Amino acid sequence: MSKTKTHQEVLTANKTYAENFGEKGKLPLPPARHFTVLTCMDARLDPAKYAGLAEGDAHVIRNAGGRASDDAIRSLVISYKLLGTKEFFVIHHTDCGMVLFNNQIMGDLLSKSLETATVDQNGWRDVGHGPGSPEGTKIDWLTFTDEDQAVIDDVKKIRNHPLVPKSIPVYGYIYDVRTGKLNEVPGAAEAGAAS
């Protein structure tokens, strides 16, 4: 099977990385710096770069929105319980795609077509020609409308989860995609404080 250009580019980049791997092959499984970052899948975010992580330093969990989904909680619990992390960072970002739609819009778009939709000042528009699927109407897409509140909600969900120890502080930040800066969300420190 011939490979796409993208597929081949990834393999070529990997070859170069592996050729200069050095001592990284000796790193142990548990994170050396004992913390975990939960952040968005957004392409503009590189948590290793924006938070200063070398290979081996910290767990990184990413999903659409950087939300404290049940699956993110699964990962956070594995992170501290089996691999010894002691601090959690929840890091959303400005200009997040999760504020541009909601469950109704996504369910409708997917029902019409599985092709990529387009967006303009009049909202989302589906230019696809089907087939679509009604399955999208059954999913909670975890969108939000208020950036700060979404971080607070996620910090609180983690803080109050019965499987998360009270000793682990949960920090709440928003990464500014225009400046690269992490800005603490007002109220997050109190909402996520250890006790």
Contact letters (x/-) for its own copies, 132-151, by CB under 8 A? Answer: -x-xx--x-xx---------
Q: Considering only CA atoms, which of 38, 141, 146, 142 is closest in space to residue 92?
A: 38
Nearer to its own copies (CB atom), residue 127 or residue 149: 127
Site for its own copies in 45-84 (CB under 8 A): 45-46, 48-53, 55-64, 69-72, 74-75, 77-84
Nearer to its own copies (CB atom), residue 11 or residue 146: 11
Site for its own copies in 12-51 (CB under 8 A): 12-18, 21, 24-25, 27, 29-36, 41-46, 48-51
3-state secondary structure the chain: CCCCHHHHHHHHHHHHHHHCCHHHHHCCCCCCCCEEEEEECCCCCCHHHHHCCCCCCCEEEEECCCCCCHHHHHHHHHHHHCCCCCEEEEEEECCCHHHCCCHHHHHHHHHHCCCCCEEECCEEECCCCCCCCHHHHHCCCCCCCCHHHHHHHHHHHHHCCCCCCCCCCEEEEEECCCCCCEEECCCHHHHHCCC
Nearer to its own copies (CB atom), residue 148 or residue 169: 169
Contact call for residue 195 and its own copies (CB under 8 A): no
Nearer to its own copies (CB atom), residue 56 or residue 148: 56
CB of residue 113 to its own copies, shortest distance in Å: 9
Q: How many CA atoms does the CB half-sphere of 35 hold within 13 Å?
A: 17
Q: Which of 103, 147, 177, 187 binds its own copies (CB under 8 A)?
A: 177
User: How many residues line the site for its own copies (CB under 8 A)?
Assistant: 99
Site for its own copies in 101-130 (CB under 8 A): 101, 106, 109-110, 114-117, 119, 124
CB of residue 121 to its own copies, shortest distance in Å: 15
